Amino acid sequence: MTTTTTTYSYLHTCQFPTIQRLRTCQTRHRFLPSTCAPVTRKLKLVVAATAAETTRPMKAAEDGVLKKGIAEFYDESSGVWEDIWGDHMHHGFYDPDSTVDVSGHLAAQIRMIDEALRFAGISEDPTKRPKSVVDVGCGIGGSSRYIASKFGAKCQGITLSPVQAQRANALAAAQGLSDKASFQVADALEQPFPDGQFDLVWSMESGEHMPDKAKFVNELARVTAPGGTIIIVTWCHRDLAPTEESLQPWEKELLNKICDSFYLPAWCSTAEYVKLLQSLSLQDIKAEDWSQYVAPFWPAVIRSALTWKGLTSLLRSGWKTIKGALAMPLMIEGFKKDLIKFAIITCQKPE
Ligand SMILES: C[S@@+](CC[C@H](N)C(=O)[O-])C[C@H]1O[C@@H](n2cnc3c(N)ncnc32)[C@H](O)[C@@H]1O
């Protein structure tokens, strides 16, 4: 694998089974002021992997660059998002082909949480409801506060962003939930929790940021209590056909552009998540493509960004947020071309 000090290298966890070619994100400087160049040079992504390498972690220094980028991205953009969209930083779940007004989006985001819980078979039965929950990649804690209120569960959220952790704790306090929902800065790949602590392990749209999917899934399984449930809702790329060894060049190119804007490492497929869960002997593994249920989301986000409030908030926020906003049409393109999949994957840890 070739890396340089200005190159961000990591392992592609998705495209089994043969050697990956080196890949470099080359399109990212187009809109950048010159002052951004050093930062973006650091974030250049190179993918090189073999099947044997797919679970190998990134080098510590490279991992650090990604984590710093993610933390800064969310430090910078979370306030803008909250102003416009509220406290859930995830897709809404909509009836297919529905049109929704602005007020419908918050309901759709809450529905996403409920649908994910339902899919995983989480019951409201008082004897079965979750009591101890970890929210891995918690944003500003919207899922945790909702789950804490719904089930009376104790939720602990982790995020890389100090701004998010602070805001999540402030919102919990304001809603009288401090005893039920707490948040800290911590890495999902090295969680500050003992083995088997949580009966519900919740990862809502954070898996796409994880540079080492095997380690990520391993940590989720480690902190799950025997009999507990893991729910991963995440962006994936399409599953490869049996005859394919990798995505098409245009597909890789599109994903690379999105990676750069949203501080993502390489994507993987739903099938690969399932394989990773199987390799840990987790049970009742279920996966579903929910892309059709999230279709109205990105067009709505773009519409909201183009309002006066959206534009002024964006301009005040900073370059990382603006860069993320510019990438939104790429997400729509990826979904429309069946390259991007919005996946839910759930399983149980054996008793
Ligand atoms: C799109 S936001 C989702 C937030 C939240 N789950 C929600 O639904 O509102 C992604 C979150 O993943 C977090 N994240 C990304 N990589 C992480 C890591 N290695 N460890 C902990 N959190 C991480 C980010 O800090 C951010 O809070």
Q: pLDDT per position in the chain (351 positions), as tens?
A: 322 222 222 233 333 222 222 232 322 322 222 323 333 333 333 333 333 333 344 567 778 899 999 999 999 989 988 988 889 999 999 998 777 766 688 899 999 999 999 999 998 888 889 999 999 999 999 999 999 999 999 999 999 999 999 999 999 999 999 999 999 999 999 999 999 999 999 999 999 999 999 999 999 999 999 999 999 999 999 999 999 999 999 999 999 999 988 899 999 999 999 999 999 999 999 999 999 999 888 888 777 777 777 777 777 777 777 777 788 889 999 999 999 999 999 999 999
Residue ranges of domains in the chain: 70-348
d(CA 210, CA 54): 13
Q: How far is the CA of 253 from the centre of ligand 1 (A)?
A: 24
**Is the CB of residue 44 below 6 angstroms from any atom belonging to ligand 1?**
no
Please say whether the beta carbons of 132 and 159 come within 8 A.
Answer: no
- The phi, psi pair for 130, rounded to 5°, reads -65, 145
Ligand 1 atom nearest 204 alpha carbon: 6
In 61-213 the beta strands, taken as DSSP E runs, fall at: 132-136, 154-159, 181-185, 198-204
Q: Whose CA is nearest to atom 13 of ligand 1?
A: 137
Question: For tokens 């990676």, what's the residue?
Answer: 259
Q: From the centroid of its chain, how far is CA 331?
A: 14
**Is the CB of residue 109 below 6 angstroms from any atom belonging to ligand 1?**
no
**Is the CB of residue 206 below 6 angstroms from any atom belonging to ligand 1?**
yes
Q: Whose CA is nearest to atom 23 of ligand 1?
A: 137
70-348 maps to CATH 3.20.80.10: no
Question: Is-above-0.75 flag for pTM?
Answer: yes
